Structure 1
Amino acid sequence: MAAVGALAAVLAAELPARADAAAAPAPNLTALKASLQAVVRAGSPGVFARVDDLHGTKVSTVSLGRGNIAAGTAVSPTGQFRVGSITKDFTAVLVLQLVGQKKVALDTMASKYLPAGVLPARSPITVRELLNHTSGLYDYTDDLLTGGTVTGYQKFRYRTYQPKTLVAMAVKHGSQFKPGSRYSYSNTNFVVLGLLVEKMTGLPYATALQRRILTPLGLTHTAFVVPKTTLPAAHAIGYLTQDVRSKPLFDATNQTASWLWSAGALISTTADLNRYLRALTTGKLLPAAQLTQMETMRPVDSTSGYGLGMRQYKLSCGISVYGHDGIIEGYQTYAYTTKDGSRQVTVSANASNNSAVFAAERRVLNPVFCGTAAPAAAQKQATADAGHVALEESGR
């Protein structure tokens, strides 16, 4: 019981208000709707967004388009969807909670906290280097995402992979560079971190996630159901854009998601993701020292940085927002918050393998946090940078 009490104290810790570089103007819902229309024009059947403002006391939802093409039904802003790499943010929090409890040290070799044989003997890779994608580990998904987008997906969508098998696929390629020397996004890092969570908590990843994050925050519509193949609640169909764009969109909704495991298999809703980000940035999940580490960024491109399982985007108005984006077959999502937790947005499109959709979603952030669409030059730069992130997230 003492351990449970200690964890509760960590989860209940509050931080003082932390201001952004500039005060955020009110969300511009007219401009938000216009930017969501651009997402549909880019090729997504539907798109839905939820904005929580003033620490969740003011909520706005907008949805456009169809959640099911065949049925002709509208997309709902309350439905579940696969969040893809936003899962990494949750995995990072689990690791940083262990750091806050002094069970794990960021700059210690990760192998100390892993089952034997996960990483090569004497691997110098540290926990921090896994969290910030500087480990040099090959991304095993590059071996899975081969051939045509749909035909390749069909080869692994219903397979159940063991996490150690995924890591072994990466390790056989050897180190890609000296750990710590540069940034290179790799899903392997967060599968290794999931195994670390299991070893250091003595719990399956799904159980640790439930006990340490989902239950304390009341995220009742967020689930890690690997290897079950279906979403447990009402949801929009997730469509995969075919390589030949003239072909019909492909229903990619059901899959085990075991191939992404703790790097991308979570299911959630716009409301739950906004609540999670608000709790995280207001100190309800991590002690101040660990939250600061998570939010300490190294530049990735001209408008973004990456911390410990967290991205930062600097918007045209000077405001920086924090969170993560996710691409998984069928869905592309952004979930971001101000640093002080006063405003969050989650926007999800039910189409993947479409970088134009992903870039259009990126442009949604400006009306929400800056109160206006970005100037043309800033939109052009954000679109280019979104293309780089899309390659990271999707491997294509």
Structure 2
Amino acid sequence: MSIPSPATPPDLYGRTRPDRFLSSLDRFASWYIPLATRKGARRPRTRDDRPRELTVAARREVADDVVSLRLTAADGRMLPRWQPGAHLDLRLPSGRLRQYSLCGDPADRHAYRIAVRLLPDGDGGSAEVHAELTEGRRVGVAGPRNAFPFAGDDRVLLLAGGIGITPVLPMAYEAARRGLDFTLVHTGRTRASLPFADEVGRLARRRTGRVVVRTDDEHGVPDAAGLLSLAPEGAAVYACGPAPMLDALQRAFPASGASALHFERFSAAPVVDGKPFTLRLRDGRELAVPADRSALDVLRDAEPATPYSCRQGFCGVCRVRVLAGSVEHRDRRLTDARRTAGDMLVCVSRAQEGACLELDV
């Protein structure tokens, strides 16, 4: 005995015939889905709209030996978003790669602002910025990237030493915008040496009691414990400034009432728990790395053109390939896969005492 097929049920409109649109959609899906999901099918490319080059739209002196640059896209397009604490990589005309904190308004999508202090005894990057990056000049860029993120804690103490105001000033604006319980302290040798003193002054007038300016010639060299005492109980501390200031803050922090200390250095941190080891180059030269120096410093003595930038283990510019030897990785950049493949950031990473690392250099 056969069982008759049931009649086609009516659709939502009471029709018994198939819906032509849905039938067409079903036929298209049956053709397209297998095609789009088959092995080897091309995936849509993710478009990267980040500009590779920016133009110096404006330049001004913001303190003794400090120049501020406003950088824009040549076609006027909006720039990628960034958060307080972010930095921009600049490829200078000489080929040097240097990183500078973004110190403008994150809400301004049409321009990035950086500030650079001239260091007469530096390695030439700051001098090149001051001499070469005039208005209208184009400069290669990458980023922004953030290795000093601002978490927006409810209670915050912001400490800036001199040019260290560059990553901290956007944090202060963000804290004010969010209504956080914050204090900003800007220190320096003299008032004339403090970058963006006009902006800090305006912030002080709007946020009475929240902004403190201390200069060595007027108030004496600040004491780290005294600076930390300005933090609200349980506050997070964000600090940027010269190495002696940051080292003093680290020593004084355990006795303070602050809950966390976040900081960014201008230069390489001192080597901690370093042991002497050896580098062997492709040409057979062996270079001794003392306990208190980095592999990068020793390499640059032998090969001055060795590339580098941050000297703190997060930008990746100084990466080299290790052909033999076990690396003591101390960076904050390389993935486990890259380390396993033999990559090493010579600005911070080392080897065990007496070991030899053979480099593809």
Q: Which has the larger radius of gyration?
A: 2
Which category describes the TM-score, using the shorter chain as reference length?
Answer: under 0.3
TM-score by length of 1: 0.25
TM-score by length of 2: 0.27
Q: Which structure has the highest helix share of the two? A: 1
Q: Which structure has the highest strand share of the two? A: 2
